[in-house]
Amino acid sequence: MGTLLQFYTSSVGKKLAVGLTGLFLCSFLVVHLGINLFLFAGDGGESYNMYAEFMATNPLIKMLEVVLVVGFLLHIFTSVILWFKNRSARPERYAMYDAAASSELSSRVTLLTGSVVFMFLVIHLRTFWFGSRYGNEAGYTMYQLVMRAFGNPVYDLLYITSFVILGYHLRHGFQSAFQTFGINNSRYTRLIELIAAIFWLVVPILFAAIPLYFLRMHYMTGGIV
């Protein structure tokens, strides 16, 4: 434990921690998307509600929620510390050294897009997580909560914009993780880039399809939904 903590305090240790927690959060994103795709099942939310109920009540999933929160906190905390450290380590040499300047720009973009994703998460959890557990006196099912939220075009726009920014965050995040893991020039670079593109491009597009689907439903039913 002591050695692990010592490693974490080093710059390489922190970079590795950001990369690994980032990958872990990506795996959550895939599971979350997988369940959300049941929203398209066309069965009035029956299958989605079943899975959502399982996720909300299963004790193992509840334990994993704690791991998820720790993963998020570690990812955010370590990225912010790294950014400040990098900034104070290289003050004004960029005029002469382009690579350092572009790496600084890249990490600034990641920090900025990460902050937007964080703000999205606060709003998202307020609506759905908190909404389903504490603010749901009307007794709406999870599917109904989603349907009602996405009947609002402003909320949809907020989500779609957040997903574009999430894609951007993941793109930069993957690039710097590749550098950290030293797989920039490996034999598998192309394959790894393809997998990364699924995360930063395909996953956000599929997420964005959800608000659009419900917005269309809202207008098709004349605003009843």
CB of residue 48 to ligand HEM, shortest distance in Å: 9
CB of residue 215 to ligand HEM, shortest distance in Å: 11
Q: By CB under 6 A, tell whether 55 contacts ligand HEM.
A: yes
Among 18, 146, 147, 215, binds ligand HEM (CB under 6 A): 146
Query: In angstroms, rounded to a whole number, what is the distance separating the alpha carbons of residues 107 and 113?
Result: 10
| CA dihedral for 136, 41, 68, 25, sign (positive or negative) | negative
Query: In angstroms, rounded to a whole number, what is the distance separating the alpha carbons of residues 134 and 161?
Result: 27
CB of residue 27 to ligand HEM, shortest distance in Å: 12
Residues in 6-45 at the binding interface with ligand HEM, rule: CB under 6 A: 29, 32, 36
Q: By CB under 6 A, tell whether 142 contacts ligand HEM.
A: yes
Q: By CB under 6 A, tell whether 56 contacts ligand HEM.
A: yes
CB of residue 220 to ligand HEM, shortest distance in Å: 19
Q: By CB under 6 A, tell whether 165 contacts ligand HEM.
A: no
Q: By CB under 6 A, tell whether 117 contacts ligand HEM.
A: yes
Task: Between 8 and 24, name the residue whose CB sits nearer to ligand HEM.
Answer: 24
Provide the binding-site residues for ligand HEM, judged by CB under 6 A. Answer: 29, 32, 36, 52, 55-56, 65, 117, 121, 124-125, 128-129, 132, 142, 146, 159, 166, 207, 210-211
